[in-house]
Amino acid sequence: MTQNCPKCGMVNSDTQKFCSRCGYLLFSSNSASSEQTLTLRNNLSDFPGHGGLLAGKYEVIREVGRGGMGVVYEALDIKLKRTVALKFLPRELLGDELARERFIHEAQAASALDHPNICTIYEIGESEDGQIYIAMAYCQGLSLKNLIRRGPLSPAETLSLALQIAEGLAGAHDHGIIHRDVKPANILVSEEGQAKLVDFGLAKLIGEARLTRPGTIMGTVAYMSPEQLRGGNVDARSDVWSLGVVIYEMLTGRLPFESDSEQAVAYSIVHRTPEPLKRLTTKIPPELAEIVEKALAKEPESRFPSAREMANALRAQCEGTTVHMPVKKSFSRRALITSSLAVLAVALILFISPAWRNKVQELAGLKKPTGDKHIALLPLKAISGNANSQIMADGLTALLSQQLGLLISWEKGSWISPLVHIQNYEVREAADARRLLGANLVLSGTIKSSGDITTVSIDIIDSETLRRFNTVSKTDSLANVATWQEDLALDTVRFLGGKVLPEDRSALASGGTTLPAAFNAYMRGLGFLSRDELDDARQAAESFKEAIQLDPSFSWAFACLGRTLWRIFALDGEVDTVRRAETYCREALRLGGSDNLAHLVLSRIYHGLGRHEEAVVEAKAVNPGSAWGFDALINLAQVYDEIKKPEQAEAAYLEAIKLRPGYWAGLSYLGFFYFFHGQLEKARDLFQEVARLVPDNINGLNNLGAVYYKLGDSLRAEEIFERSNAVKRNPDACSNLGHLYFYRGRYADAAAMSEAALAYEKNDPLLWGNLADACYFVPGYEKKSQEAYDRAIELAEKVLFADKGNAGLRSSLAVYLAKRGNSEKAQAEMAEALKSKSDDPTIVLKSVTVYELTGDRPRALEALEKYLMLKGPREEVLRDPFLAAIRQDPGYIKIMGRGDK
C-alpha cells in the first residue's frame, strides 16, 4: 500500500508518517479517515506545479483564497527558505488578454511600493504550463472583511487600523499610484494587528494610459466614490472616499449605503447622505465621526485632499489633539450644529478622561517606546532596483548598523541586533523583529538616487503596536556621503530618544576618510560583505583594496579587509588569506580609529587557528563598552572553554550578559555552555527565558527541546520541536525530530526528516550524518547510507580546515569514519577531539561508539563508565542501535548496574 504526500505529491509507504521527500506529516489509512485523505489529495491535484516544483523553486502547500481575478496559494520558496503567497489567474481567464494585462499591471504597480502597510511583491513569473503568477509576502491573519463579520470594531481598534490603511494609501499616492479598489476584502490584518493593503489589480498610475475606456466603471460598487460611478476622472480623493466607507463599516458593522441591488446602491452613493454615525452608536468619539463625514463628502474637493492629510487627522485623534475639520456644505444645519458641539464634547473628554486618551494612544501605537532600546535595522531597499544601487544600500545598512551600535553602546541595556540575525531569521517586518529577535524598535527604510542626488528615508517603528512614530530623512549629493551618513546616524539616535554627545561625531569620523571615491568603495565592500557567497566576499575584498589604494590612511577599510579575508579562508581554505588578514588588521591598529574591530578580528583568527593565548590577548584588548565588546566577550568565553578554563569562560559569558541585559543571544550562549558541560537544569532555565523573550525564535525552541531530550523527557522535547516547525519549518527542528525517531526505531521517518532538513542546509555535515545513520537501518538504502557518510566526512573535513578547534564536529567526523570502516583515522580524530573536550558527555558518548565500531571494546567500556560519571543521559546508550552488541557484554551490564545505584 502507498500514499501520496498532500504537500509535494511524493509516493510513500503507508507505514510512513512523514514524506520521504519533504518531511510533511502524512495521513495514512491507519491514522486518519479515508475521507480526510481523499480531500487532501483532491485539493492537491488542482495546484499549479502539482508533483514538482513551480518555476523551479516553489513548493505549493495549499489554497488560501480565491476571487474573481485570482486564486491564491500558500507556497514555500525553497531557494530563499521563506513562505510566500502565489496568486494565479483563474483557469477560466487564462485566454482573456485584458485579464492577463490587468494581472501583470497589478504586479507592476505594487512592486514599485515599499511600505509596512502594503503587501510586498517579490516577483512576477510564469509557470511551466504557461500560467502567470505573482509571488508576494505571505501574511498570517484574516481579511478585514472577516474581522468585521464578527461584529463592529471598537473605536480604538478602528483608529489603529484606519491609520495604518491611510498611511499605506499615502505611500502608494506618493508614488503616483491610486488603488481604486479599497475595501475590507483587500485589507489583511496580521495576528499582531498590522494592516496590509493587497490587490492592486485596478490600480492606476497618475497620468498613465487607462486599462479601460473612459466611462467604464471598475471596482466594488459599495466602496466606490461618486466620481467612479459616474465614470469620471479618479485621483487620490477616490481612495479617501473608499477608506471612509471602510471606517464607517468597521465602526458599525454595516455599510453607509445599502440596498437590494447594485443600481440602488450606486444611486444612494451619488445622491443620498448616509445615516450619521452618532445615531447608530454613542461610543464613537465625535472627532472620529467628523473624519468619516469629511471623507464621504460627495464632491472630491470637500474631502481630504490626500490620504496623507487623512492619516494626519487620524493620528491627531489618536494623540488626543484637536484638528479643525470643516464640515461639508451638503450636510444639514442640524448636522452642522451637532458637529460644533462635538468639539466641546471632545474637549471635555480630553480634559476629564486622560486615561481613555492614553489607551487610544497605546492601542494606536503613537506613544514613543520608553526604557531600553532593542533595535532591529532592516536592510535598506534601493527603489531603483538596480543591482549596484542595492549593493550600496546594503553597504549603507551595514555602516548604519555599525554606527548605531557605537552610539548606543554606552546606554546600558540597549543594543542593536546583528545584521546576520536579520538575514538568518528572515526578518522582513517589525512584527517579525519582535517575535524572533526581541526588538522593540525597528528601523525600515529606502534609498533613492536621481542623478547625483540621493535620498535616504528611514521609518522608526514601534514593534509592539506596529506604528511609525517618526521618520529620519536625508537628501544630499552622493559625493558628500562620507559626511552626511554621519548626520543620518546621529539624527536616528536623536529620533530614537537617545543621547547624542558632543564627541560622538568625532568618534564616528575616527579612522575614516574624507575622500568620496574611497568611501564609496568602502560602502560597496560592506554591501558585498553582508552577503553569504564566496564570490561576494571576494568582491568585498576588491572593494576594500580599492578604498585603501585611494586613501592609505583609511583604518576602517584595513580592518574590514582583514575581516573579509578571514571570511574567505573560512569559506574555501585559501591559506595565504590568513596571513594577509592578520597583516591588514595590524595595519588598522597602527593607523588607529578601528582598534576594537581589528582586535576582535585578530582574536577570531587566532581562535580559529588554535593560537589560544594570542586569541585571549586580542579579545581582552577590545573595549567592553564599545560596539564590539559583547562579541569579544563571547569569543573570549569560547576560547577559555576550549583550553579547559570553564570558570573563566562562565565569567566571560556572564559579563557579556551584563552588557546586554535581556538580550536573548547572550542567554543562549551561556545556555550552550551549561548544556555541553552537563549542567542541564541551568541550561533549561536559560532557554526557557529565551523562549519567553522571543517566543517564535526557532533556535530558542530547538535548544529548549534539546535540553528536555537530554533530561530524559523526549515527549516534551518532541512537542517543542513540532512547535518550532509550526512557527517555521526549519532544518534543526526536522533534524531533531529525526533524531528522536531514530532512537525510537522509526528509521524511515528519521530518514524523511533528515532529508527535509537537508533541503534547507545542503552543506551541513551533521545533517548528512543523520541521514546516513537512518538509511543504514532501512532495507534497500545501504548505498544511500554509504554515500551520505562520505558526504558528511567531506564536508566535516572542509569545515575543520578553517575551524580546527571545533571538537564537537571533529568527534562526529570520527564516528562517520568508524562507520565507514576507517578505524585508524577514526581513532586519531577522536583522540584529537578529546584533547580539548574530555569532560563533554556528548563527545565522550561518541567515543564509546568509535571504540566499539573499531573493535576496541575495553576502551569503549572505559568511555561508557566515564560518560555515566559525567551524568550523560542513559536513554541514548540504551536505544542506540550501533551499540546493540556492547549491550550484551557483561562489562556493560556491570557498568550500567553501577550507574543505577
pLDDT > 60? residue 146:
yes
Q: Specify the DSSP element, H or E, that contains 500.
A: none
What is d(CA 869, CA 877) in angstroms, rounded to the nearest whole number? Answer: 14
- Please name the residue ranges forming H helices in 369-480: 387-408, 419-424, 430-437
Quick one: 826 and 887 in the same domain? yes
Q: Minimal CA–CA distance to 590: which of 619, 631, 562?
A: 562
Q: Is residue 27 part of a domain?
A: yes
Residues 6 or more apart in contact with residue 306 via CB below 8 angstroms: 170, 173, 236, 237, 240
Scored b (16 or more CB within 10 A) or e, 647-679 reads: ebbbebbebbbebbebbbbbbbbbbbbbbbbbb
Rounded to the nearest 5°, which phi and psi values hold at 830?
Answer: -70, -40
pLDDT > 50? residue 211:
no
Q: What is the mean pLDDT of residues 107-121?
A: 75
The position carrying cell 531514530 is: 742
pLDDT > 70? residue 418:
yes
In this prediction, residue 94 carries a pLDDT of: 62
Q: Is residue 618 part of a domain?
A: no
Q: At what angle do helices 286-295 and 333-352 cross, to 10 degrees?
A: 140
pLDDT > 50? residue 329:
no
Quick one: 833 and 803 in the same domain? yes
Q: Three-state secondary structure along 667-679? A: HHHHHHHHHHCCC
Quick one: 211 and 263 in the same domain? yes
Rounded to the nearest 5°, which phi and psi values hold at 119?
Answer: -65, 130
Residue pair 740/749 in contact by the 8 Å Cβ criterion = no
Task: State the amino acid at position 671 in one-letter form.
Answer: G
Quick one: 237 and 360 in the same domain? yes
Quick one: 253 and 358 in the same domain? yes
Over residues 467-483, the pLDDT tens digits come to 777 788 888 877 777 77
Quick one: 841 and 763 in the same domain? yes
In this prediction, residue 59 carries a pLDDT of: 86
**DSSP character at residue 808:** H
Last residue of a domain, which of 138, 173, 207? Answer: 138
Q: Band of the pLDDT at 560, cuts 50, 70, 90?
A: very high
**Which of 19-28, 141-150, 364-373 ranks highest by mean pLDDT?**
141-150
Q: Is residue 626 part of a domain?
A: no
The position carrying cell 562517520 is: 816
Helix (H, G, I), strand (E, B) or coil at 13: strand
The CATH number of the domain holding residue 58 is: 3.30.200.20
Q: Is residue 589 part of a domain?
A: no
Quick one: 269 and 357 in the same domain? yes
The CATH number of the domain holding residue 393 is: 3.40.50.10070
Number of structural domains, the chain?
5
Q: Is residue 232 part of a domain?
A: yes
What is d(CA 667, CA 675) in angstroms, rounded to the nearest whole number? Answer: 12
- C-alpha cell of 523? 560602502
In this prediction, residue 50 carries a pLDDT of: 47
Residue pair 588/565 in contact by the 8 Å Cβ criterion = no
What is d(CA 524, CA 529) in angstroms, rounded to the nearest whole number? Answer: 9
Q: Is residue 801 part of a domain?
A: yes
Q: Band of the pLDDT at 637, cuts 50, 70, 90?
A: very high
In this prediction, residue 751 carries a pLDDT of: 93
Q: Band of the pLDDT at 710, cuts 50, 70, 90?
A: confident
Q: What is the mean pLDDT of residues 729-734?
A: 88
Tell me whether strands 121-126 and 70-77 are parallel, antiparallel or unpaired.
Answer: unpaired
Quick one: 401 and 433 in the same domain? yes
Range with lowest mean pLDDT among 41-55, 530-544, 676-690: 41-55
Quick one: 132 and 145 in the same domain? no
Q: Is residue 563 part of a domain?
A: no
What is d(CA 204, CA 200) in angstroms, rounded to the nearest whole number? Answer: 9
Quick one: 223 and 344 in the same domain? yes
- C-alpha cell of 34? 479515508
The CATH number of the domain holding residue 341 is: 1.10.510.10
Last residue of a domain, which of 347, 364, 381? Answer: 364
What is d(CA 821, CA 874) in angstroms, rounded to the nearest whole number? Answer: 26
Q: For residue 165, with 0-12 CB atoms within 10 Å meaning exposed, 13-18 middle and 19 or more buried, which class applies?
A: buried
Quick one: 29 and 51 in the same domain? no
Quick one: 239 and 265 in the same domain? yes
Q: Is residue 120 part of a domain?
A: yes
Q: For residue 333, with 0-12 CB atoms within 10 Å meaning exposed, 13-18 middle and 19 or more buried, which class applies?
A: exposed
Q: How distant, in Å, are the alpha carbons of 424, 539, 547, 604 from that of 599?
A: 25, 23, 21, 9
Residue 722, Cβ neighbours under 10 Å: how many?
15
- C-alpha cell of 344? 466641546
Q: What is the mean pLDDT of residues 881-899?
A: 89
What's the mean pLDDT when you consider all of the chain?
Answer: 81
What is d(CA 118, CA 538) in angstroms, rounded to the nearest whole number? Answer: 36
pLDDT > 60? residue 594:
yes
Q: What is the mean pLDDT of residues 751-767?
A: 90
Q: Band of the pLDDT at 340, cuts 50, 70, 90?
A: very low
Q: Specify the DSSP element, H or E, that contains 640.
A: helix 629-642
Helix (H, G, I), strand (E, B) or coil at 444: strand
Q: Band of the pLDDT at 897, cuts 50, 70, 90?
A: confident
Which DSSP string corresponds to 380-393? PEETT--HHHHHHH
Tell me whether strands 381-382 and 195-197 are parallel, antiparallel or unpaired.
Answer: unpaired
Q: Band of the pLDDT at 286, cuts 50, 70, 90?
A: confident
What is d(CA 310, CA 470) in angstroms, rounded to the nearest whole number? Answer: 17
The CATH number of the domain holding residue 799 is: 1.25.40.10
Helix (H, G, I), strand (E, B) or coil at 72: strand
What is d(CA 257, CA 265) in angstroms, rounded to the nearest whole number? Answer: 6
Residue pair 300/235 in contact by the 8 Å Cβ criterion = yes
- C-alpha cell of 471? 521618520
Instruction: Provide the residue range defining the domain that includes 470.
Output: 369-509
In this prediction, residue 122 carries a pLDDT of: 81
What is d(CA 788, CA 768) in angstroms, rounded to the nearest whole number? Answer: 5
In this prediction, residue 8 carries a pLDDT of: 47
In this prediction, residue 120 carries a pLDDT of: 81
